[in-house]
Structure 1
């Protein structure tokens, strides 16, 4: 087996898989951040709604 023949191919394959996996990880983290933001907004809205109901902010008498 000729190492000089396969070494550049191995380096290119290594770089290609490393770079694409970084893109995948970046996408996962971006999705995770937006999911977290949406969950926090929903929880805050529920807390505000419950506080408004407890303290009579419903508007009906």
Structure 2
């Protein structure tokens, strides 16, 4: 029972202390950062592949 309370009490505190707008804002900021990283990684891979093909010709 004590272990269950240790898990549930922080969840209730977080849900009451953070408004839903703050939580959603944090999720979107993290998502935007990951999205930018993925786009840069894809561009780097494309540039790498193009440079490998242009050296062989």
User: Which 5+ residue runs of structure 2 have no aligned equivalent?
Assistant: 1-15
TM-score w.r.t. the length of structure 1 is 0.63
Q: Which has the larger radius of gyration?
A: 1
Dislocated runs of 4+, deviation >2 Å: none
2:22 corresponds to? 19
Structure 1 runs not aligned, ≥5 long: 1-12, 55-61
Higher relative contact order (CA closer than 8 Å, sequence separation 6+): 1
Pick the structure with more helix per residue.
2
Number of residue-to-residue matches in the alignment: 41
